Amino acid sequence: MDYLMGVDLGSTSLKAIVYDLDGKLISSASRPTTVHHDDPDHPDWAVWLPEEIWGDTAAAIKEAVGKLDDPGDVKGVAVTGMGMDGVPMDAEGNWLYPFISWHCPRTTPQQEWWVENIGAEKQFAITGNPIWGINSALRILWMREHHPEILEKTHKWLLIEDFLNFMLSGKMATDYTMASNTLLFDQTTKDYSDELLAASGIDRAILA
Question: What is the tens place of the pLDDT at every residue in 95-143?
Answer: 999 999 998 999 999 999 999 999 999 999 999 999 999 999 999 999 9
Domains detected in the chain: 3-206 (3.30.420.40)
How far apart, in whole angstroms, are the C-alpha atoms of residue 196 and residue 142? 16
- Tell me the average pLDDT of the chain: 96
* Range 146-171 average pLDDT: 97
Confirm if 46 and 75 have CB atoms less than 8 A apart: no
Model confidence at 198: pLDDT above 90: yes
What pLDDT score does 74 carry?
Answer: 97
Beta bridge partners of 95: 89
Reported as a single tens digit per residue, the pLDDT across 33-48 is: 999 998 999 999 999 9
